[in-house]
Amino acid sequence: MLENNVEQKPKRYAGILCHPTSFPGRYGIGDLGKGAYDFIDFLKKSKINLWQVLPLGHTGFGDSPYQPFSAFAGQPLIIDLEELMEFGLLTEDDFEDMPEWNPEKVSYGDLIPFKTEMLRTAFERFADKDYEDKMSADKKIMTEYRAFVKNTFWLADYALFMAGKDYHKGMPWYMWEDTLKAPTAAQKTKWIKELKTDIEYYEFIQFLFHRQWTALKEYANENGISIVGDAPIFLAWDSADVWCNQDLFLLDSKGYPTEVAGVPPDYFSATGQLWGNPLYNWKKHKDTGYAWWIERVKYQLTITDFLRIDHFRGFDKYWAIPYGEETAVNGKWKKAPGRDFFKHLEAALGKDMHIIAEDLGEIDEPVIKLRDAFNLPGMKILQFGFENINDNDFLPHNFIKNCVCYTGTHDNDTTLGWYTKVHEAAKDKLRRYYSTDASDICWVMIRACFGSVANMAIVPMQDVLCLGSEARLNTPGVGEGNWAWRFKKDVLSDHLAARLAETVNLYGRDQ
């Protein structure tokens, strides 16, 4: 028999970017319940085979998915409460004083205390020694819970960290007493005993998140839909990972950063961007064979199928700003491990690492060479192609196949909002480029995205729904009002699914 030596084409993916917080539902925020399953059904009907989410972590101050309390723990706010009712852990009476929710916007100020109270109530019932005898649902949940607690490598440190924050009324870890800020083994044991109940609460909510997310991912995969996750390169200073791995970060003896992350002044900002995240002690990471990073990426690729890593250029060089500076002006570029890091990661994950490089912003030749050396797809944003009236890498005629094309991302305005505000020369260029009057601008851009040679093409849900700036998810540099947009259930119509399916099919992305 002759061997088939014909090279197989990469799959052409068509995707939608939509974070679970944006789903419809009756409890103030999108969650992992019915709204999520309805969304998967809509994707399948639309022949969409890729779903991209933002980081799924436990968010802190500012509600940003990019500043989580943990690189591993899931977001308690999107736990489905309906399932807890099925388990007998919540009752209708518990919702008697539930606030009135805006179905199109998350109100975190009301949501967080409400959801926390519901989860605390559920935990108290779960922890009741008689619960196992009187629960109405399948009793295997208790066995699953115990196995999760026993086998989840990051859980103990996260739970102790969160319990420590509660004990200190939300105070960041670097302001705790030394016995918990940098505990010895004996001191840690003492704190674990003292904070036992709160530790078990955080273990419980992470079990719920993991159980629900795993079931949802399996449902998506069974229906031919892969999930793209997202990971910020840097971590919040006040996070479990920095607290329990202080030697892996550039901190002084009191737990304060010696230098912090950001980006230098550029065309958009005369003072740059001061992010404030602690920087990695890359020498220490290298000495360990990048064990923490490898664990992080491997874990993320168990809960998603692909992983976008934010600020990819930080693996080549990073902008180090002395701690205490008020702007990013006085930073300097420092060398990151680059190829050495990715060689170790490739050895752990294999040649096809399923990683997407967020290579936007000021990118130089060494970053491009690093990305291409490991065959990592970069990102192409159609909006950027037309904001620059000259020929540029974001125009589809300059794409290579190994990239991910977006109309815009979570940091951009919606396509309709963008087109309304962009300068006239950009509008003229777009209209001529696509030979359109732009009266249906969102779908002009969707067709352009799906019709490109990019192996992956992903559009935000807001563009599919032709929404304006009122539906923008995030405005960088603006501290309030972000991460709040939601859509109503009735927008997932058969007509919309048919229009998507026709477009996906037309451009050969329904493989």
Annotated catalytic sites, by residue? 310, 358, 411
Q: Which two tokens stand for residue 331?
A: 């930073």
From first CA to last CA, the distance across the chain in angstroms is 27
Rounded distance between C-alpha atoms, residue 204 and residue 59, angstroms: 17
On the 0-12 / 13-18 / 19+ scale of CB atoms within 10 A, 88 is: middle
Rounded distance between C-alpha atoms, residue 227 and residue 50, angstroms: 6
Rounded distance between C-alpha atoms, residue 424 and residue 414, angstroms: 17
Q: Which two tokens stand for residue 290?
A: 């990048």
Tally helices (H) and strands (E) across the chain.
20, 12
- Decide: 462 and 412 in contact? Cβ < 8 Å: no
Rounded distance between C-alpha atoms, residue 162 and residue 145, angstroms: 19
Q: Which two tokens stand for residue 108?
A: 């975190």
Rounded distance between C-alpha atoms, residue 106 and residue 475, angstroms: 16
Residues in CB range of 424: below 8 A, 6 or more apart: none
Q: Provide the pairing of β-strand 317-322 with 403-406.
A: unpaired
Rounded distance between C-alpha atoms, residue 510 and residue 15, angstroms: 11
On the 0-12 / 13-18 / 19+ scale of CB atoms within 10 A, 399 is: middle
Largest CA distance in the chain: 72
Q: Where are the beta strands (DSSP E) in 204-358?
A: 226-231, 259-263, 273-278, 306-309, 317-322, 332-335, 355-357
Residue 74 has what DSSP assignment?
Answer: B
- Decide: 220 and 306 in contact? Cβ < 8 Å: no
Please give the order of strands across the beta sheet that includes 226-231. 355-357, 306-309, 226-231, 50-52, 13-17, 456-460, 403-406, 378-381
Helix or strand holding residue 51 (H, E): strand 50-52
